[in-house]
């Protein structure tokens, strides 16, 4: 997530709100509770690949015809039903050794206020990582991916009153996606391409990414391994050397850091 600073502070404060019970994040029950509540949805990894391919084809046609191209990823309100995992299908497969669905929470910087990735540069890196992951886990074990991406998983502005209430509830359970030992966290810490020259605030100096990265290290996640437990990867170090998922895990694994104080945050 990478909303403006004011939104970030309000969101972080809302996590401490006593209005609703704190959702545990140390097992699959917390994930199931949030998904069944309907305030957050998870995207299918295969749909992201198919959408990216379609966007590339449309962008080429748009460039040839001189018209503007579509935005890379639609906000939640505009997602097709085929992009979203049905909780009834997803939840029973979260802990299977075969045909498992692995949840990945994405941590990244919004590049503009209107759209977090208007040129699809975050998406391009994400797709490369998904293809590597699938070449290993999908081919070997028939695993699939489910993504928490704030722009697509939570209701975005402009919102109806009902959508706004849903969004605020979702903020109070956002820790589940990053802290749960069953989830992976992929950090897109590099400001890509065109935006790197616009004096963008760096990933590590933004509120939401700092929060997401910090809470990801509060639970025991493995660093590499067989994918059964969660891992934290910094894909900002992704390069041409990371030609396979095994290499990506080794080079991009994030070590657990000492917790920072509220004053430092």
Cβ–Cβ under 8 Å, residues 134 and 45:
yes
Q: What is the pLDDT of residue 219?
A: 73
**pLDDT for 131-184, tens place per residue?**
999 999 999 899 999 999 999 999 999 999 999 999 999 999 999 999 998 899
3-state secondary structure (DSSP) of residue 67: coil
- pLDDT score of 256 more than 80: no
In whole angstroms, how far apart are CA 179 and each of 10, 103, 231? Answer: 20, 12, 10
The C-alpha atoms of residue 83 and residue 50 are separated, in whole angstroms, by 10
- pLDDT score of 104 more than 80: yes
pLDDT > 90 in the chain, percent: 55
Phi and psi at 11, nearest 5°, equal -65, -40
Minimum mean pLDDT range among 14-28, 99-113, 228-242: 14-28
Q: What is the pLDDT of residue 185?
A: 95
Q: What is the pLDDT of residue 193?
A: 78
**pLDDT for 17-65, tens place per residue?**
444 555 655 678 989 999 999 999 999 999 999 999 988 877 655 545 4
240 φψ region: left (φ > 0), alpha (ψ -120 to 50), beta (else): alpha
The C-alpha atoms of residue 55 and residue 227 are separated, in whole angstroms, by 30
Average pLDDT, the chain: 83
Most confident option among 63-72, 81-90, 204-213, 242-251: 81-90
Please name the residue ranges forming H helices in the chain.
5-14, 28-37, 45-65, 87-90, 121-133, 139-141, 150-153, 161-172, 175-179, 207-216, 245-252
């Amino acid at each position: 997530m990478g909303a403006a600073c004011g939104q970030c502070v309000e969101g972080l404060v809302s996590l401490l709100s006593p209005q609703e019970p704190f959702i545990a994040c140390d097992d699959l029950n917390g994930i199931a509770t949030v998904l069944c509540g309907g305030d957050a949805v998870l995207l299918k990894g295969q749909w992201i690949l198919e959408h990216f391919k379609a966007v590339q084809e449309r962008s080429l046609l748009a460039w040839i015809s001189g018209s503007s191209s579509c935005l890379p990823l639609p906000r939640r309100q505009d997602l097709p039903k085929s992009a979203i995992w049905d909780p009834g299908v997803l939840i029973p497969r979260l802990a299977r050794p075969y045909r498992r669905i692995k949840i990945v929470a994405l941590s990244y910087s919004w590049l503009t206020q209107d759209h977090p990735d208007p040129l699809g540069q975050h998406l391009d890196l994400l797709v490369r990582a998904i293809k590597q992951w699938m070449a290993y886990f999908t081919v070997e074990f028939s695993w699939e991916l489910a993504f928490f991406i704030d722009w697509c998983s939570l209701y975005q502005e402009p919102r109806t009153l009902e959508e706004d209430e849903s969004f605020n509830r979702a903020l109070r359970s956002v820790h589940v996606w990053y802290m749960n030992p069953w989830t992976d966290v992929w950090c897109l810490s590099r400001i890509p391409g065109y935006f790197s020259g616009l004096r963008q605030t760096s990933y590590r100096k933004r509120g939401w990414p700092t929060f997401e990265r910090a809470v990801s290290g509060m639970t025991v996640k493995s660093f590499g391994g067989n994918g059964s437990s969660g891992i934290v990867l910094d894909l900002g170090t992704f390069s041409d050397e990371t030609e396979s998922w095994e290499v990506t895990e080794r080079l991009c694994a994030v070590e657990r850091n000492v917790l920072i104080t509220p004053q430092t945050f």
